[in-house]
Structure formats: C-alpha cells, structure tokens
Structure 1
Amino acid sequence: MSNQTIEAFDTAVLDAAAHLFVSVFNAPPWNDSWSDSSARTRLRDVVETPGFVGVALHQGQDLCGFAIGHTEQWFAGRHFLLQEMCVRTELQRQGIGTELIDALEARLFDVEQVYLLTDRHSPAHSFYERCGFRSARRQGVMIKSIETRPSDS
C-alpha cells in the first residue's frame, strides 16, 4: 500500500473511525448492528480511558485501519487490553493488521502482556494467533445479561 502512514490515534479521526468500524463490523463475519453514533460513543469511551494507546493507518487522507486500547495495572506489572481493531474490508489480508499490531506494540512501554477478546470461530482469531497471541490458559470470559434500566440523568 503506497503513501501509507501509521500515527498515534487522534480524536480528530473519531468520526472516520466510527464510520470504518460500522462498515467492518456490520458486515460478515460479525454481522453486528452498529450505528455511526453507537460506534463513535464506543470508540470515544476507549479513547477517554486512562492509559489509552492507539494507532491509526492512513493512506493519503483516508483512514484505513486502527488499533486502540489501554494499559492497566496487574499485580506483577502492566498489561494492555486491545479493545478495538479494524482494517477496511477490501484491504484485509494484505499485512495491514500486522503492521498495526507492530506499531501499537512499539508504543507500549513497561507493558509485559497484551490481551484481547475475539470470537474463537472468526478469521480474526486465526489472525491474532499468527501475530503471536494464544488462548489464555487460566481465564475465560463470563457474561450475565441484566434488565436494562433508564438512567436518572
């Protein structure tokens, strides 16, 4: 990909990132139902988390991919939670995701482990394995649905 740059993720790209997020995650294999508004709120929440670190890949002025998350303290050191990552669908499988992971890792200081959540049966799982991730031995994801209540505000 010519004329590409990877830079720190800046809030100035939130709208473009939300649009990219929707186009990637509302398509197969994810088939989610994000709106630009809900995606922008999700990404803004991640960006505003203490310890935020993120990278964005541009080709010219076009945002083509990003990887964002935050560092957090663990009992024996710092960990990084990769919360969201996406690459424009037509540019996937061209090494851009790997470039984003590498650029992100280069910005992580005093971090001993990177972790993420992804669908075990998706192409993303295989991608992350190729990038050196492995399934956690001791930890699993647990969920509980609760009744939605309106806020008081």
Structure 2
Amino acid sequence: MSEEIQTFTTEYLDQCAHLYIEVFNGEPWSEEWTFETAKARLFEILNTPGFVGFVFKHDELLGFVAGYCKQGQKSKSFYLEEICVRSHKQSQGIGTKLLNQLMDTLTAMKVTSVYLLTKKDGQAEAFYTKHGYQRSQHLILMAKRF
C-alpha cells in the first residue's frame, strides 16, 4: 500500500486516540491520557466549527494533524491543536507532509495565519521553527489553576 493523506473524519477517531496515547504518554511529554480522555479530546476538536484535519497512512495510520479556523476582524486564522506522528516514525517527513497538506488547504481557504502552543526548547519547537514558525513577540500564554 502506498502512503496517502486523507481527511480526518470520525472513521479515524479510535485509531487517532490510540496514537495520541502512544505519543503523548511517552517522552518528552509524559502525560497520562486514557483511551476515553484522548478520544473525547479529539472528538471535541473534530466537532469544533471550522475544523480542518488530515491523517497520514502507510499500511497503518502513522500520524494526524487537527485544528480549526477562527474568524478575526479582518482575516481568518487557524489554531493548530494537534499534530501527532507515531514515535518510531518521527523525523521521517510524515509531520512535514501533514503540515504541507494543511498549509495548502488553509491557503485555499484564505487563512492568513496559524498559531499553536507547544513545549518550549524541545523537539516540537525545533520542528515548528524548521517550518518557519517563531515565538510570538505579541502574545503570551497565561493560566490559572483552581
């Protein structure tokens, strides 16, 4: 079977939830996702208005990208919620192919910017930097725990 990129639909939800657990419960994230919580998270993203997402397959599902468009006062932006590639397949171009497919689609939709959150100073930041993303000089992440 050759590699293919397809639209992320509910058909892929269970496979993507399993992949999400594999990647984000491992290093460097060390999170504690269950199948139920991962599936619920991806279901919420998939059902957000303006959703755009793709899966990468080569004999099996190896990665996905997902997020949604948001209308601003003058243009549309895209919030990149998740990009996830099977751990042993990272650094082989799958994430780049998914990101390129996403960017082609967003360009056709007249989206003018993409933003995301990721761990700083790690492999993920290096991946995004390689693809032209940079730390925002105008925005900061603020949080409140309760």
- Cα deviation, 1:75-119, whole Å, max 9, x if unaligned, reads 220000000110000100011111100011111111000110000
Residue in 1 that maps onto 2:56: 57
- Cα deviation, 1:33-68, whole Å, max 9, x if unaligned, reads 0001100000000000000000100112x1100000
RMSD of equivalent CA atoms: 0.9
Residue in 2 that maps onto 1:113: 113
Equivalent residue of 1:118, what SS? coil
Residue in 2 that maps onto 1:74: 72
Residue in 2 that maps onto 1:96: 94
Counterpart mapping for 1:3-152 below 5 A? 3-60=2-59, 62-108=60-106, 109-146=109-146
Stretches (4+) displaced over 2 A: none
Aligned residues: 144
Distance in 2 of aligned mates of 1:140 and 1:75 = 20
Equivalent residue of 1:105, what SS? helix
| Structure 2: gaps of 5 or more residues | none
TM-score scaled to structure 2, two decimals? 0.96
Distance in 2 of aligned mates of 1:59 and 1:42 = 24
Distance in 2 of aligned mates of 1:122 and 1:133 = 14
| Structure 1: gaps of 5 or more residues | 147-153
Structure number with bigger Rg: 1
Report % sequence identity.
38
Equivalent residue of 2:57, what SS? strand
Residue in 2 that maps onto 1:149: none
Distance in 1 of aligned mates of 2:87 and 2:9 = 22
Distance in 2 of aligned mates of 1:107 and 1:7 = 12
Partner letter of residue 36 of structure 1? F
Equivalent residue of 1:41, what SS? helix
